Amino acid sequence: MLSAADLLKTLPYFETLGTDAIEHITREVLEFSFARGEVLFLEGESCRGLYVIKSGQVRIFKTSPEGREQVLLVAKPGDSFNDVPVFDGGPNPASASALEESTIYLIPTEVALSLLTDCPIAVSILKLFAVRLRHLTMMVEDLSFRSVVGRMAKLLLDLAVVEDGPSPVRRLTQDEMAAMVGSVRDMIGRALKHIERAGAIKIEGQRIMVVAPEKLREMM
Partner 1 sequence: MRGAIPRINLEKCTGCGDCVEWCPTDAVALVNEKAVVVSPDDCYYCTDCEPVCPPGAIRCPFEIILAITQPRAPKEE
Nearer to partner 1, 21 or 172 (CB): 172
Nearer to partner 1, 72 or 210 (CB): 210
Nearer to partner 1, 121 or 162 (CB): 162
Residues 156-215 binding partner 1 (CB under 8 A) are 156, 159-163, 169-177, 185, 189, 202-203, 205-211, 213
Number of residues that bind partner 1 (CB under 8 A): 27
Q: 44 or 199, CB closer to partner 1?
A: 199
Which amino acid is residue 57, in one-letter code? Q
CB 53 within 8 A of CB 101: no
Q: How far is the CB of 176 from partner 1 (least distance, A)?
A: 8
Contacts of 208 (CB under 8 A, 6+ apart): 156, 160, 192, 201, 202
CA–CA dist 86, 113 (Å, integer) = 8
CB of 186 to partner 1, least distance (A): 9
3-state secondary structure of 113: helix
Q: Quick one: 24 or 170, whose CB is closer to partner 1?
A: 170
Residue 126 has phi, psi (to 5 degrees) of -65, -35
Q: How far is the CB of 210 from partner 1 (least distance, A)?
A: 5
In whole angstroms, the minimum distance from the beta carbon of 162 to partner 1 comes to 5
| Residue 111 CB neighbours (<10 A) | 18
Sign of the CA dihedral running 197, 202, 207, 213: negative
Cα 20 to chain centroid distance, Å, stands at 33
In the complex, least distance from residue 170 CB atom to partner 1, rounded to whole angstroms: 5
Other beta carbons less than 10 A from residue 48's beta carbon:
17
**CA distance linking residue 175 with residue 171, whole number of Å:** 12
**Minimum CB–partner distance for residue 149 and partner 1 (Å):** 16
| Closest to partner 1 by CB, 10 or 173 | 173
Tell me which residues in 99-158 interact with partner 1 (CB under 8 A).
156
Residues at the contact surface with partner 1, assessed by CB under 8 A: 156, 159-163, 169-177, 185, 189, 202-203, 205-211, 213
